[in-house]
Chains A and B, each alone.
Chain A
């Protein structure tokens, strides 16, 4: 939300306030006000909009002030009529920033005078009075109704705005002080704030009328921006309290080498070029964003499928392995190791190793080798060595342990390509960045199809969380986009046979990172269960632990049987056989109702070829 600081008066004070970089500074041109402005505005940063505040002034007077002070916005505080606003909008302005230049169209648009019309609210408000102004002003501003035209020093009941009928952005004003920080935070989460564009402050931040308290403003601004949660990794490798690098000293040099280089390498034009080129020509990106018409009809909402299943090798996993193999080459590594559960990541790794001519060793739990035989054969054809993990429960968790042990034993020439947004920092962030191409594409594809970049919902299944991280990435800080994370409930949350980490997990350490994980009360990691080998992981990437803890994402758990049914349904309705992992994400439509106009984008993370045997057994096909 933007910040407007109003009622500026004194030169030096104006400069100090401007240094805090508010979005608007207000100057009151009203003689009866204690904050009446009658001097010269000092040179201000271009990003600050100088706003003139008027109360039933003559149009000529307003225009003169706009021209003299080079105002970018006008705030009308009296009983100005719609006609008045209209006249102002079409007035010939001759100040430098409003000179009409027919050749500079962009310039004109950017520099258009903004008109803000004020309405005062007591405990109720008849919103009908806004209607005639809809087409002649840029913003509304809601102030507290009191004796004075503004500056009464107390707030109105913001719940009144629950009934705001318009879509025009508005300024929230009236007696806002530092003590409202929490209320503002709450307000921001409420429906009433949907069109709130800016917060307007004045008298509560003054030493005397017109003289602003810089320290207090600074504190307010910090508090407001601190309230803005960061969902990306911080410089120490944490997402909130989750993440970090809890690794034995033996791994420190490898992980540190990667940490120091990954952002630098990813930013190299050379690297970007090669990465983009391979994604395009080898993987087949961009993957389509497909409007699933029949599925949408069935659930009476607008469902789009992001077709990662159409990537080479059949899932999103290859976005990451392409990125990491290029990284490994630039780090001078000659030997690649990986872990795999379903075999999708193993195949994607074996594929890029074949492409680059590097040695490839894939660790896979003995049990998974048995249940994912076609992928084992693929890896072998691609020239990889598949090593069975015989320890522990002989599934994904143990394959990961074995890969880490291999890395400990081969610290110099080997790069470990982790297959999900898990592991010690910088892995979760690096994998997320490689997968972020998914949401990067959704943005422009949705713009083309729906006329807007932001859907109402993004949905993805979560094993470790790499397809989800990529699908959410560019939407993490877009407040109007709801995030849904789908975990595998296995036979049911309370069955003892589940992989729903956000429900069953507790903070702990797995594979080098602090996150939510399923464990005994004694801290031993427990074995998850899901029909889908790719969701069968006792932890979840640290980004998702943070999204769960902060409530930014809604977590849902889907049972084996619901997932299988959803997989069959998509096959029949759209002619797309999804991976069983993906079927979990598709199953939410049976459990959550969306509005007819909601745009819901689901990450179709992979295709079902690898799961045919499971589908055949399950449905007795």
Chain B
């Protein structure tokens, strides 16, 4: 069984953290991952930076631009991660835009992920339909779980379709927005969380976008299996560096 699937079976709410690889400095990748695991984070999304991250707000945009300036590339990231499974056992997911993967070669990319011990991918601009028609077989060949997004605007039929071709979890985008911290969830969001929860989908849901502190983490995990924090963590390492990760994780999990 894939590490993501095993983790989802555990009887607890999951905290997943996103960070941009190559930020703040090019060689922080491995130590960030190790620190996150040590401090009790359950799953990690490693952001492969892209020049034009359409679905991201200012924080992740800026970290991506800096990471690229620092010299991060697909090849560099794979090299940094080559021994990661010697020290880290929680699920690792690469999150990135499709063009860098396309240029690397989709199959070569997937093969490399398997060799390293990456468990899944999140590619916001690879539409479900294209994945299903062109790439699903390749992902499956290399044991990778592809994670799809749904939003408050996603229709019931489409959610059911996404559920039917998912085999890990569904990434629930909390509101119509790009990534970035919001000031808490209102009725509109909690209604949507409840609506999806009641659909009893085959795949558990993990909520992301706009989760930044203990309060929003608790709100989200009331309805879902877990929650993902991105921008707030990126801000934290940008201000406090990579040595104070425990403070951040503690502040979320209390």
The digit string for A495-526, where 1 denotes a CB below 8 A from any CB of B, is 00000000000111111100000010111111
Is A227 an interface residue when CB atoms closer than 8 A count as contact?
Answer: no
Is the CB–CB distance between B104 and A252 below 8 Å? no
Given A253-B155, A391-B65, A404-B54, also A248-B125 (CB < 8 A): yes
With both beta carbons as reference points, the residue of chain B lying nearest to A514 in the complex is identified as B102
Is the CB–CB distance between B103 and A521 below 8 Å? yes
Given A509-B125, A522-B100, also A246-B130 (CB < 8 A): yes
Other-chain residue from B58, B99, B104 in contact with A525 (beta carbon distance below 8 A): B99
Q: Which residues of A contact B75 (CB under 8 A)?
A: 522
Other-chain residue from A249, A412, A509 in contact with B150 (beta carbon distance below 8 A): A249
The digit string for B52-80, where 1 denotes a CB below 8 A from any CB of A, is 10110110011001001000011100000
Given contacts A249-B150, A510-B99, could you give 10 more A-B pairs where the C-beta distance is less than 8 Å? Answer: A244-B130, A247-B125, A250-B153, A253-B151, A391-B62, A408-B177, A410-B176, A523-B50, A523-B99, A524-B50
Report the count of interface residues on B (CB-CB < 8 A): 40
Q: Could you list 6 examples of A-B contacts with CB < 8 Å?
A: A244-B130, A247-B125, A249-B150, A510-B52, A522-B103, A523-B99
Q: Which residues of B contact A246 (CB under 8 A)?
A: 98, 125-127, 130
Chain A residues in contact with chain B, CB under 8 A? 244-250, 252-253, 391-392, 397-398, 401, 404-405, 408-412, 506-512, 519, 521-526
Q: Which residues of B contact A511 (CB under 8 A)?
A: 52, 54
With both beta carbons as reference points, the residue of chain A lying nearest to B56 in the complex is identified as A405
Is the CB–CB distance between B154 and A408 below 8 Å? no
Q: In the assembly, what is the distance between CA of A245 and CA of B58, in Å?
A: 24
Q: Which residues of B contact A405 (CB under 8 A)?
A: 54-55, 57, 178
Q: Which residues of A contact B177 (CB under 8 A)?
A: 250, 408-409
Q: What distance in Å separates the Cβ of B148 from its nearest Cβ neighbour in chain A?
A: 7
Is B101 an interface residue when CB atoms closer than 8 A count as contact?
Answer: yes
With both beta carbons as reference points, the residue of chain A lying nearest to B153 in the complex is identified as A253
Q: In the assembly, what is the distance between CA of A512 and CA of B154, in Å?
A: 18
Is the CB–CB distance between B178 and A408 below 8 Å? yes
Is B173 an interface residue when CB atoms closer than 8 A count as contact?
Answer: yes
Is B124 an interface residue when CB atoms closer than 8 A count as contact?
Answer: yes
With both beta carbons as reference points, the residue of chain A lying nearest to B103 in the complex is identified as A523
Q: What distance in Å separates the Cβ of B183 from its nearest Cβ neighbour in chain A?
A: 15
Q: Which residues of B contact A397 (CB under 8 A)?
A: 52
The digit string for B34-57, where 1 denotes a CB below 8 A from any CB of A, is 000000000000000011101101
Q: Which residues of B contact A404 (CB under 8 A)?
A: 54
Q: Which 10 A-B pairs have the closest CB atoms?
A: A523-B103, A523-B100, A249-B149, A524-B51, A248-B124, A253-B153, A248-B55, A523-B99, A509-B99, A522-B73
Is B82 an interface residue when CB atoms closer than 8 A count as contact?
Answer: no
Q: In the assembly, what is the distance between CA of A509 and CA of B148, in Å?
A: 19
The digit string for B75-95, where 1 denotes a CB below 8 A from any CB of A, is 100000000000000000000
Given A246-B126, A249-B148, A524-B50, also A391-B58 (CB < 8 A): yes
With both beta carbons as reference points, the residue of chain B lying nearest to A244 in the complex is identified as B130
Is the CB–CB distance between B127 and A250 below 8 Å? no
Is the CB–CB distance between B130 and A508 below 8 Å? no
Q: Which residues of A contact B73 (CB under 8 A)?
A: 522
Please provide the chain B residues from 182 to 239 with a CB less than 8 Å away from any CB of chain A in the complex: none
Query: Total A-B pairs in contact (CB under 8 Å)?
Result: 112
Is the CB–CB distance between B125 and A512 below 8 Å? yes
Given A508-B99, A519-B103, A523-B100, also A252-B51 (CB < 8 A): no
Q: What distance in Å separates the Cβ of B64 from its nearest Cβ neighbour in chain A?
A: 10
Q: In the assembly, what is the distance between CA of A279 and CA of B62, in Å?
A: 43
Q: In the assembly, what is the distance between CA of A95 and CA of B162, in Å?
A: 66
Q: In the assembly, what is the distance between CA of A490 and CA of B55, in Å?
A: 31
With both beta carbons as reference points, the residue of chain A lying nearest to B61 in the complex is identified as A391
Q: Which residues of B contact A521 (CB under 8 A)?
A: 103
Q: In the assembly, what is the distance between CA of A511 and CA of B124, in Å?
A: 13
Is B158 an interface residue when CB atoms closer than 8 A count as contact?
Answer: yes
Given A509-B99, A521-B103, also A249-B173 (CB < 8 A): yes
Q: In the assembly, what is the distance between CA of A522 and CA of B103, in Å?
A: 6
Is the CB–CB distance between A525 and B51 below 8 Å? yes
The digit string for B134-157, where 1 denotes a CB below 8 A from any CB of A, is 000000000000001111011100
Is the CB–CB distance between A519 and B155 below 8 Å? no
Q: In the assembly, what is the distance between CA of A366 and CA of B207, in Å?
A: 34
Q: Which residues of A contact B68 (CB under 8 A)?
A: 524
Other-chain residue from B61, B103, B150, B154 in contact with A508 (beta carbon distance below 8 A): B103
Q: In the assembly, what is the distance between CA of A525 and CA of B54, in Å?
A: 13
Q: What distance in Å separates the Cβ of A67 from its nearest Cβ neighbour in chain B?
A: 58
Q: In the assembly, what is the distance between CA of A458 and CA of B74, in Å?
A: 42
Q: In the assembly, what is the distance between CA of A579 and CA of B50, in Å?
A: 34
Q: In the assembly, what is the distance between CA of A253 and CA of B149, in Å?
A: 13
Q: Which residues of A contact B104 (CB under 8 A)?
A: 522-523
Is the CB–CB distance between A247 and B127 below 8 Å? yes
Q: What distance in Å separates the Cβ of A430 from its nearest Cβ neighbour in chain B?
A: 19
With both beta carbons as reference points, the residue of chain A lying nearest to B68 in the complex is identified as A524
Q: What distance in Å separates the Cβ of B151 from its nearest Cβ neighbour in chain A?
A: 5
Other-chain residue from A392, A409, A519, A523 in contact with B74 (beta carbon distance below 8 A): A523
